Amino acid sequence: MKIQTIVLTILAVSSLATFACTSSACATSAFSTTANRQINSYQSAGNPDPKRYPDHWWTAVAKEGAPKWEVLPQEAGPGEVILSKRNELGLLSNFAATPFVYSGTKYASLEGFWQMMKYPEGPSDPRATAKNVIWKFSRQEVGQMTAFEAKSAGKLGEENMKVLGIDWVTFENKQMEYRFLGRGDFYQVIQAAMLQKVLQNPAVKEVLLATGDLKLRPDHIQEPTAPAAWKYFDIWMELRAELQK
C-alpha cells in the first residue's frame, strides 16, 4: 500500500486537531505527528506476501475513534492477519450475517446460534419455569439475530443464568458447561456449526482459503483464559487445514 494512501486515511482523524490550531505551523505539526505514528504502526506489520494477499487486510486504521475492544488491522504480527470486520475477513466473524442450516434448523449467524443456547428450549425447560427471571426474547428469535443484536440478547441471557445460578447452556436438550476451558460439548457444537457455515456460504469459504497459511487473530481483545470455544480464529485455522487437503 502506498504511503500517500495511508496519509489520506488519517486526514479525518487529524482534522479536528488541525481545526483547533490557529496557525499553519500548528496544523502541520498536528498532522505530521499523527501521520508518522500511523505510518510507523503500519510498517511494523504489513503484508508478508503482496503477490498472494491483498494489501488492504493490513491497512492502518487510526486508533482515535476506534472502539476500545477492537484490535486494529495494523496490530498483526509477522505472518499474521487480524480478522477485521472492516474488510471481507469480517465474514469469518461470528457476527456476520451468514445464514446456515444446522441439525435441521436455519440460523441467521453464528452469533445468533451461540447466544440462543442460553435461552430455554421449551416450556418444560427449568430456565423457563423459573419465577425469578424474565426472558425478553424466545430462543427462536435469538437464533435469527446477527451481530450486536444477538450479542445483546446473549448478555441478557447470561444475566439470567447468573440469577439462576447455572453455568450451562443447551442444544437439543443437552446441558453443556458454557465456560469449559477445553474442547468439551459446547466446543464441539460450535465447531460443527462453523463447519456448516463455511460449507454453506461460498463467500466464507473463499475468504477463509484466501488466508493461505497466515496465522489468524481476533479483531477484539479476549480474556486471558478464554475457553477453547471462544477462540474462533483457532477453529478456523483447523477447518482451513481440512479444506486445503
**pLDDT tens, residue by residue, 105-148:** 999 999 999 999 999 999 999 999 999 999 999 999 999 999 99
CA distance 117 to 186: 10
Question: Which domains can be identified in the chain, with CATH numbers?
Answer: 3-66 (no CATH), 92-243 (1.10.357.40)
Q: What is the separation of C-alpha 194 from the centre of its chain, rounded to a whole number of angstroms?
A: 13
For helices 185-200 and 202-210, angle between their N-to-C axes, nearest 10 degrees: 100
Question: Contact 206/89 with Cβ under 8 angstroms?
Answer: no
pLDDT digits (tens, 9 = 90+) for 76-107: 999 999 999 999 999 999 999 999 999 999 99
Nearest to 159 by CA among 190, 136, 126, 175: 136
Q: Which amino acid is at 95?
A: F
Q: What is the pLDDT of residue 45?
A: 56
Phi, psi of 70 (to 5 degrees): -80, 135
Radius of gyration of the CA atoms of the chain, in A: 21
CA distance 76 to 217: 8
Report residues of the chain scoring pLDDT below 50.
1-44
Cell numbers of 41, please? 504502526
Q: What is the pLDDT of residue 6?
A: 33
Cα distance between the two ends of the chain:
32
Phi, psi of 175 (to 5 degrees): -80, 135
Question: Contact 244/211 with Cβ under 8 angstroms?
Answer: no
Residue 151, Cβ neighbours under 10 Å: how many? 16
